[in-house]
Amino acid sequence: MAVGNSGILHGKPARIKIFAAVLAVSLALTGCGASGGGSDASDNGGGNGSGNGAKADNAGGANGGKAANAEAADDGAGKSTGEQVTLSLWGWSGTFQTDFTKLVLSEFEKQHPNIKIKYIPDQGGTDKLTTLIAGGTPPDVAILDRFLTGSWAAKGSLESLTPFLEMDSEVSSNDYYPGVWAETTYNDQVYALPWGTDNRGLYYNKTLMKEAGLDANTPPKTIDELDAMAEKMFKKSTSGGYEQVGFIPWMGQSYLYTQSWNFGGEWTKDGELTPNDPQIVKALEWMAGYAKKYDMAQINKFNDVMGKTGINPFWTGKVGFMVDGNWILNDLKSNAKVKPTFEWGVTPMPSADGYPQTTWAGGFSFTLPKGGKHQQEAWELLKFIAGYKGTLLWAKRPNAGNDITAMPKVNEEIKITENPQLKVFVDMMPSAHFRPVTPAGQKMWDETFRVQDLALNGKGEPKKLLDEVKKNVDAELKKLQAK
């Protein structure tokens, strides 16, 4: 039985005003994604395999959900008829559509002569996909940010894949990293197959470290070490503004979710959402401390300057330490403006004393939208695309860059760890966190950015703000469960 443990949902990345320009540059240039194949990819999701791997609380999942999920998996797992069938696949447009059709879908059609694929470019976002499903005309297969899987399953928009997995030994939870598999499940049912992943690490400028009198070959491993080193790397110009910064804990991929795990925070416990966990409070207090110590107004001005460079802030040589994803390594070849003249490295993010260094993972998944007319044939396509064959074909494409697949076996086969910088990220995948799978996941994600903005600007105490988040997400969960 190829079924994994239950997972957790997380919401879609949001932006807050104070670093919108910098983050927008970072996301726009990277596609914020794993294996997306270019700027057409949507925002990425996350994972949580920390410690015991794929275990999670499935916070907010109603007990009655199991019956509903089982109902979603009707007799669609029967055998393919062998008749000529045309399947529709919902995916990104542009270069992704061209490359994916040529490299993956065409090969599937060769191996399945009775199945043709009609590609439907995503031009209306998930709202359009929701409309198609509600109207009874869903695509047979669709790509989703993996963080959406749990919420879409909760509202009955996806077919359960569990019956297919129980009868098909070609795909197993063991084929994927624990966290990315767990993220595709809800109430003990699997609703998607993982496809592509990524995670976050600490980029460090060795040249600036040397100039600050630091050992460039010993990057920080703890939050205290990071604070001490970063302090030595802030420099102001004669006008009083920053011309160089040591570290900004809300720049790049560093925000409350990211730092919460570095402080040992837990977003769920015993089936309950816990955004006001004491360690999450400490993480926000630490972030707010930077805003106060280094003057939020001056940091904002520095961020504005970085946002106008057209490249990721780290590559300007003006940032000592920065949290970001493996995908910015692609900038070195894909962005002509990125020509670092300084020594640099990448390492796992520092953590608070007593807690292990960690990361969180994002990525995508392929699903069977509810109500498809050719479910068995669609399953054949789905397992080809997101299984070993399709994943390997896509991973071998010429412009794969520094992508990480969701399948360890494929990553080993294409030897991506021969790149020492990328190896840092790949080595962290088995224990990567992911954001909570709950119907209220999007609400909680949005709320964290709202209160982060307030805390950084001195408009509320972190503990009170996160207590407010707890109240709001619980209310949202109650509302969703009542529908």
Pairing of β 272-273 and β 268-269? antiparallel
Whether 332 contacts 338, CB under 8 Å:
yes
- Within 10 A of 416 (CB to CB), how many other CB atoms are there? 21
Question: What's the DSSP call for residue 369?
Answer: B
Compute the distance between CA of residue 168 and CA of residue 387 in angstroms, rounded to an integer. 12
pLDDT score of 59: 59
pLDDT score of 66: 41
Low-confidence ranges of the chain (pLDDT < 70): 1-81
Buried b (16+ CB within 10 A) or exposed e, 421-447: bbebbbebbebbbbbbbbbbbbbbbbb
Pairing of β 242-244 and β 235-236? antiparallel
2 Cβ contact partners less than 8 Å away, ≥ 6 residues apart: 165, 166, 168, 169, 171, 172, 173, 174
Pairing of β 141-145 and β 361-367? antiparallel
- Within 10 A of 105 (CB to CB), how many other CB atoms are there? 22
| Amino acid at residue number 168 | D
pLDDT score of 61: 54
Whether 236 contacts 245, CB under 8 Å:
no
* Residue 202 three-state SS: strand
CA-nearest of 294, 182, 206, 198 to 245 is: 294
Give the global pTM.
0.84
Does the domain at residues 65-198+361-431 carry the CATH identifier 3.40.50.300?
A: no
- Within 10 A of 242 (CB to CB), how many other CB atoms are there? 20
User: What does residue 299 show for φ and ψ, rounded to 5 degrees?
Assistant: -65, -40
pLDDT score of 442: 85
pLDDT score of 81: 61
Instruction: List the chain domain ranges.
Output: 65-198+361-431
Question: What's the DSSP call for residue 44?
Answer: -
DSSP strands (E only) in 51-123: 85-91, 115-121
pLDDT tens readout for residues 126-168: 899 999 999 999 999 999 989 888 889 999 999 999 999 999 9
Compute the distance between CA of residue 218 and CA of residue 223 in angstroms, rounded to an integer. 14
Question: What's the DSSP call for residue 474?
Answer: H
Strand partners, 268: 273
Which whole-number Å values give the CA distances from 223 to 244, 259, 288, 457, in the listed order? 20, 10, 14, 22
Say if residue 113 is exposed, middle or buried (CB neighbours under 10 Å; 0-12, 13-18, 19+).
exposed
Tokens read off for 370: 């509810």
pLDDT score of 437: 84
Tokens read off for 251: 């720049």
Compute the distance between CA of residue 404 and CA of residue 417 in angstroms, rounded to an integer. 10
DSSP strands (E only) in 179-330: 185-186, 189-190, 193-205, 235-236, 242-244, 268-269, 272-273, 321-325
CA-nearest of 398, 459, 372, 451 to 76 is: 372
DSSP strands (E only) in 288-434: 321-325, 344-347, 361-367
